[in-house]
Amino acid sequence: MTSSLPKSLLQHLPTAQLKRSFVVERSSIDEQARTVKLAFASETPVERSWFVEILDLSRKSMRTGRLTAGANLLCDHDTRDVVAVVESVEIGTDKVARAVVRFGRSARAEEVFRDVVDGIRVNVSVGYIIHGVVLEGTKDGIDTYRVTDWEPYELSLVSVPADVTVGVGRSLPAEASAVPSLPSLPSTSPSSTENRSMTTPENKPAGTPAPTIETPAQRNHANEISQIAAAMPGGAELAMRSIQAGHTVEQFQAEAIRALSNKPVPTADIGLSKKETRRFSMVRALNALASPGDVAARNAASFEFECSNAVSAKLGKASRGILIPFEVQTRDMVVGTPAAGGNLVSTDLMAGDFISILRDAMVLNTLGVRYLSGLVGNIAIPKQAGSGSAYWVAEGQAPTESAAAIGQVAMSPKTVGAFTDISRKLLLQSSIDVESFVSTDLAMVLGLAIQRAAIAGGGVANEPVGILARIAASVAGGANGGAPTWDHVVDLETAVSVANADVGTLAYLTNAKVRGKLKKTFVDGPGTGERVWQKGSEPLNGYRTAVTNAVPSNITKGTGTDLSALIFGNFADLVIGMWGGLDLMVDPYTHSTTGTVRVTALQDVDVGVRNEESFATMEDAETA
């Protein structure tokens, strides 16, 4: 299919490949020569979802080069399952295209040939590509196209009979996810691959329902809906359902966002019971890794290694040490009494599970950042990329059609590693307190690394792209940087408001240097008494504020060096995804003389920003 095809047709053909199904003409079977004549095309009109198609059966219209060059006959479209070769192609006076195929003598070819002779395999599918069409006419808003240049490229015996109950036979598609609020429609594959089933060109099953005819108004909606759906995974099926239900463009947008938002996200759990989750010991697993020659330690951790193998199988990746199941990362820890060793864990380390502790290690957690934990596979978060427009119109005139665009924020796992050193003797302990201590220590080092990437990740060397790399600076201090002032603070808020993004959990984020500078900076000039950064929990113009040295203070601009960043925005639009499970490796050799074991934690993470307009930045704040 080429770009020269009419746009009205191109938008309804997401791929260049179409298929039609026919049946074997058993009277043409020559058992001795092992040949069969197959009918694979006719000029019978076919009602597709969006138009009527007629294949022109003339020698100048059908390209036969691929078939006559020795194309193979396949089984079920499997290119590895070759059973015959195409020997000749002809177009009969009855305007039916046929091919003669000769079966091979392999055991597989013989098996399939006997099925054809015995009438067991009777369904034939042909794949073809459209290169040129002409519009023959339009009736009741439905276009009829004659395909004047097309190319068959594949013949195949299919094991699934065509569905003749809807008038156009289709090979059985993969099961599609239902949209509960929309009525059921005939299934169609996402690639718009369709098949025609027929015994003779004139036959059509009795009782076949007539195709649904759309009114011109509905067809206009269909055009807009199909354009929006083209950018969505699975959008073709959802668009078809909405059009059949008579939805407007706005209703389709709502359905699309809901369908994408409600799409279940596969999780990294392996089905551990609560008892098994409590039984899993991270410390016992680390001790076994630190003592590879200790059979007793290895046997003691057999359950942990069994769980690790299950996680590895579900995630489809090999462990570099041991994988911690997602259920274990989200379990509650119970702290013992001081006499039983509870003094080992300070009060701020006693609460919650590994995932919660990891989040608490970041100041971003206080700003309303969204976390997605235990993910499996790449994900796409839906967002509305544009909005419709309103128009003033004269009486009797229709407004210009417009529609919101639906976009996606794609996220895929990127591995971050961090390490901590733990005493060998500590790993020999088995108390819950030690489990909590080790989990908290690992979560803290990972949390700091993830936070830095979410703020200032540059997207290089498999690093996520953070806020500062995604968003161009909205406010500038000067050609070489400049001291932050009250005006800069107000300008950051204004930039977000002008973009209509001043909703949600608005807050400021910066580092200690900027905080120190703003505490010394007066609002209206030196000696006025009121400083930009006031005392209290929300010092910057009444908005929540967080401080972390993960915000860079070594930025250069012109001749300016050691400049810092100040960020304002809706942090609910910052998404941090974490894929399970946590991979732990042990290095008992680096500090072997002191008996210290180095534990390296690897976690798959990515960062996404749903709407970049939700943030404004100043990246040249001079603090010296």
- The span from the CA of 96 to the CA of 415, in Å, is 58
Q: Please state the rounded mean pLDDT for residues 164-184.
A: 31
Q: Which two tokens stand for residue 556?
A: 């250069």
Which region holds residue 541: left if phi is over 0, alpha if psi is between -120 and 50, else beta?
A: left
pLDDT band at 203 (very low <50, low <70, confident <90, very high): very low
Position 383 scores a pLDDT of 65
Task: Confirm if 299 and 293 have CB atoms less than 8 A apart.
Answer: no
Position 172 scores a pLDDT of 35
On the question of pLDDT at 15 being above 70, the answer is no
On the question of pLDDT at 62 being above 80, the answer is yes
pLDDT band at 29 (very low <50, low <70, confident <90, very high): confident
Position 621 scores a pLDDT of 96
Task: Confirm if 470 and 612 have CB atoms less than 8 A apart.
Answer: yes
Amino acid at 356: S
Does residue 395 or residue 341 have the better pLDDT?
395
Task: Confirm if 523 and 486 have CB atoms less than 8 A apart.
Answer: yes
pLDDT band at 481 (very low <50, low <70, confident <90, very high): very high
Q: Please state the rounded mean pLDDT for residues 583-598.
A: 83
Cβ neighbours of 358 (radius 10 Å) = 30
Provide the mean pLDDT of the chain: 75
182-196, 257-271, 426-440: segment of lowest average pLDDT:
182-196
Q: Is the pTM of this model over 0.75?
A: no
Amino acid at 467: I
- The span from the CA of 9 to the CA of 3, in Å, is 10
Q: Please state the rounded mean pLDDT for residues 178-185.
A: 32
* 592-603 pLDDT tens trace: 777 888 888 888
pLDDT band at 396 (very low <50, low <70, confident <90, very high): low
Q: Please state the rounded mean pLDDT for residues 363-386.
A: 76
What percentage of the chain exceeds 70 in pLDDT? 70
pLDDT band at 419 (very low <50, low <70, confident <90, very high): confident
28-32, 125-129, 473-477, 550-554: segment of lowest average pLDDT:
125-129
* Angle between the N-to-C axes of helices 282-290 and 302-315, in degrees from 0 to 180, rounded to the nearest 10: 100
Task: Confirm if 617 and 495 have CB atoms less than 8 A apart.
Answer: no
Winning range, highest mean pLDDT, from 1-5, 161-165, 313-317: 313-317
The H or E element containing residue 376 is none
Does residue 418 or residue 386 have the better pLDDT?
418
